[in-house]
Structure 1
């Protein structure tokens, strides 16, 4: 006996007669391969529903196409192929395909001085769009943590130290040994500038000719521009080097945003980008933020 045909309710005609901009799934758990690592991701997959008479799309076809992410390195070519599969499986229904990937890239980062190293997470989002017959539109978002020390607070701290030095040595002959002892005492660090853990959120649109996802180049360029990337495993020598890096890279949020803007402008194959920095103030009960944007069209 033949099995009875199962009803395909999605193939029924809609009574509302309205096209929909985007229909699909969100929060799909999916492993993927990126930068040689196996990552866990949450994925949104969708197509447009351009046929106003169609009741729904074939969601299982989108879901099954995602299996390739488990076996192949994530590249623009793979993303383009997946979007083409979305469109091919909805030939009479859809003109646009969408894929959003949320994950966290883990990179092993060395300490500043010692031979230690540790893993550091970079939250990321990859967004791919394709209209039937059009070029792949590809965007990357990555969050980078760093430390920021306030220039104003540093200047005020130096002034207090100067005043204390002048008072302590007002009636004394300056001897190098005495000055060194003073600098190493609590008086020498009478005041310290405030610093805070901060983060940069980088959104970039890639050129259509880009063959790789330049996540490492993006992260490395940003951390080099800031000079005070957050650390993982450290010894005292690393902590001292980090204190030195902060002292040599005093920055307001405006300074950080400008540094990152210039660093991204130096990278190839970017069509546009936006930068947002957030300094979680240790002085104030609110954050300090700054943003910058650039696009090839407006340049």
Structure 2
């Protein structure tokens, strides 16, 4: 008769058996796409629970060992992330746990966490508001005593091309010249009616939905302040996408687009300036992508803080 004790003893573990003909150290081994809830404070003091996908890895620096203990990584991820609010300290502790459970196999560990965080955003003019889901990506690694933590998100906004706006204004001027002959007195009511007609806007500049992808490294002790980061970038750009929109909100958005003409280079520099002023950030990487309505390709620009050995030294 089997008991629980001797049944466990008899379970085979083929991972402990080395394969000399396939010996070799491996950069990373682990699991990706682990489904687990996480607890996250976006910066407003409210801890919310989100459904996340997690990657958990250690290196395998023993060529004579066939594999790692994946179940140990999984159980640590499940226990830590579902019960503790995400912070630099909690992630540092989790990575130390990875290495502690693989002290005979590994000396490096890394972790990635991806989820969405809902933020309520007010309308531009009306009293309405709506939810925006901002993607969050947290990546952490531990090599010896060197702990590295990166935090990322995306901001979607509208960008109106300055060149297209100038060309459109020229065509409107040309149409005005045709409809109102030089030297003749201008009738205020007629001009006002013309400006409100299709002839008064014979050309419109092209605008497109655009994306700013952000990666930041916080200074030691700084929290994950997602909402502050988003607010800084959206304020710098001036035309973030909206949620609840009535006619007065759409008109305000059109006005904002007209007052925030920008190439992708302009957008990248606006964000760069805003993040440079944030004392909580040790470094940042910005990729702006204007998904052109004129071209089948995108216009893209990159910016960073310019820290030696930081994001700016990376290739795209």
- Provide the TM-score with structure 2 as the length reference: 0.89
1:76 correspondence with 2:76: no
Mind listing any 5+ residue stretches in structure 1 that lack a counterpart? none
Tell me which residue corresponds to 2:205.
193
1:123 correspondence with 2:123: no
CA distance in 2, matches of 1:269, 1:109: 23
CA distance in 1, matches of 2:302, 2:222: 28
Q: What CA RMSD, in Å, does the superposition of the two structures yield over aligned residues?
A: 1.6
Q: What is the aligned counterpart of 1:87 among 99, 103, 107? A: 99
* CA 298–66 in structure 1, closer or farther in 2 if over 3 Å, else same: closer
- 1:14 Cα deviation from its structure 2 partner: 4.0
Tell me which residue corresponds to 1:183.
195
Higher-helix-fraction structure: 2
* CA 14–294 in structure 1, closer or farther in 2 if over 3 Å, else same: farther
- 1:83 Cα deviation from its structure 2 partner: 0.6
Runs of 4+ in 1 over 4 A off after TM superposition: none
CA distance in 1, matches of 2:304, 2:19: 43
Give the length in aligned residue pairs: 297
Q: What is the aligned counterpart of 1:20 among 2, 21, 26? A: 26
Q: What is the aligned counterpart of 2:112 among 86, 94, 100? A: 100
Tell me which residue corresponds to 1:221.
232
Mind listing any 5+ residue stretches in structure 2 that lack a counterpart? 42-46, 311-316
- 1:88 Cα deviation from its structure 2 partner: 1.0
Cα-to-partner distance string for 1:234-271 (whole Å, 9 max, x where unaligned): 11010000001000000011111111111111112333
- 1:11 Cα deviation from its structure 2 partner: 2.4
Aligned partners of 1:140 and 1:204 also within 8 Å: yes
Q: Secondary structure at the match of 1:152?
A: helix
Aligned partners of 2:149 and 2:217 also within 8 Å: yes
CA distance in 1, matches of 2:63, 2:295: 53
CA distance in 1, matches of 2:245, 2:256: 14
Does 265-274 or 153-162 show the bigger shift? 265-274
Q: Secondary structure at the match of 1:291?
A: strand
Aligned partners of 1:11 and 1:56 also within 8 Å: yes
CA distance in 1, matches of 2:58, 2:306: 27
Aligned partners of 1:77 and 1:211 also within 8 Å: no
Aligned partners of 1:137 and 1:206 also within 8 Å: no
Aligned partners of 2:234 and 2:240 also within 8 Å: yes
Q: What is the aligned counterpart of 1:230 among 230, 241, 251? A: 241
